[in-house]
Amino acid sequence: MSNDLVKLSAKGVNLWFGNKQVLKNISVDFEPNKVTALIGPSGCGKSTLLRAFNRMHDLSPDARIEGKFMLENQDLYEKGLSVTQLRRRIGMVFQKANPFPKSIYENINYGLKINDIPKAERPGIIENALRESYIWEEVKDELEKPATRLSGGQQQRLCIARTVALRPEVILMDEPCSALDPLSTLKIEELIVKLKKDFTIVIVTHNMQQAQRVADKTVFMYLGEIIEEGQTKDMFANPKNELTANYVKGHFG
């Protein structure tokens, strides 16, 4: 399994919510330091798949999961594995910016605090994370301001900074721009492309232009199955499957 070209993978995954099967026999590999986009029409299971990687379904009692999820050689659903440790290695940015009801500084500091990062190191890490997320210049003079007063785009970059600060290996992004205006979206997309130098990124998106702009690889899902995957360029230029072709041309979605 210790393939250098696979950072994160799922094998033979089936997932049910109650009696409804949402993921059907999913097997997929994500390469390190690449951006992979998960695309597909609403309800195809792409967000569900994404959230399975950092075990966000743990708290939904009606979710039932089969199959294997691996981060390098670590089985993510191994008995006795600390979920909090795992989530430190696999960070997540959500669809709607969800800063904590605390100051800008505390929003990043909180993650460092509960992960026992020494107090003396925190200010440096926080500044660095804000710089990496291209929001430092905008907020450096008002770090004590409540994060909820930032604009939507700034909030989302703060949420990315919060994730980046913990130095995860993988960052999962669940439609991070769906609630943002075009300008903020552009900023976040630039940020994503820059972040792949240090992180492996999996992004769920509804926006096919976005997938083409940011993703090295693209995975197309339909009704809980992976229909096609490949290099983004190839997939959009020469889709092999008819469903993919119809979707990327915008015939349904």
Partner 1 sequence: MRKKLTPLLEWGTLLITTGLVCFFLVVILWDLVSKGASSLSWNFVSSLPTQGMTSGGILPAITGTVLLTMITALVAAPFGVSCAIYLNEYAADNWLTRLIRASIRNLAGVPSIIYGLFGLALFVQGLQMGTSLLSAGLTLGLLSLPYIIITTEEALRRIPASTREAALAVGATQFESIRDVVVPSAMPGMLTGLVLTLSRAAGETAPILFTGVAFYINNPSGYLNQEFMALPYHLYMLSTQHQAIEAVRPLAYGTALVLLIVVFLLNLTAFYIRYKYSKNE
Q: Is the distance from CB of 30 to CB of 226 less than 8 angstroms?
A: no
Residue type, 156: Q
Q: Measured between alpha carbons, how far is 118 from 112 in angstroms, rounded to an integer?
A: 8
Report residue 222 as tokens.
Answer: 């339909």
Write the interaction track for partner 1 spanning residues 227-246; mark x where CB under 8 A is met and - where it is not.
--------------------
Write the interaction track for partner 1 spanning residues 41-70; mark x where CB under 8 A is met and - where it is not.
-------------x-x--x-x---------
- Select from 4, 73, 84, 182 the one that contacts partner 1 (CB under 8 A): 84
Residue 122 interacts with partner 1 (CB under 8 A): yes or no:
no
Residue 163 interacts with partner 1 (CB under 8 A): yes or no:
yes
Residue 94 interacts with partner 1 (CB under 8 A): yes or no:
yes
- Select from 162, 196, 213, 217 the one that contacts partner 1 (CB under 8 A): 162
Residue 110 interacts with partner 1 (CB under 8 A): yes or no:
yes
Residue 216 sits at φ, ψ, to 5 deg, of -75, -45
Residues binding partner 1: what is the number (CB under 8 A)?
Answer: 28
Stretch that binds partner 1, among 67-75, 96-104, 132-140, 239-247 (CB under 8 A): 96-104
Complex with partner 1: residue 158 or 192, whichever CB lies closer = 158
Complex with partner 1: residue 26 or 158, whichever CB lies closer = 158
Q: Which residues of 158-168 are buried (b: 16+ CB within 10 A; e: fewer)?
A: bbbbbbbbbeb
Q: Is the distance from CB of 37 to CB of 205 less than 8 angstroms?
A: yes
Residue 157 interacts with partner 1 (CB under 8 A): yes or no:
no
Which of 241, 228, 225, 245 lies closest to 46 in space, CA to CA?
A: 225
SS (H, E, C) 171-233: EEEECCCCCCCHHHHHHHHHHHHHHCCCCEEEEECCCHHHHHHHCCEEEEEECCEEEEEEEHH
- Select from 7, 46, 87, 217 the one that contacts partner 1 (CB under 8 A): 87
Task: Name, in order, each residue with C-beta under 8 angstroms of 68's C-beta and a sequence gap of 6 or more.
Answer: 10, 11, 12, 13, 75, 77
Contact footprint for partner 1 (CB under 8 A): 54, 56, 59, 61, 84-85, 87-88, 91-92, 94-96, 98-102, 110-111, 114-115, 146, 148, 159, 162-163, 166
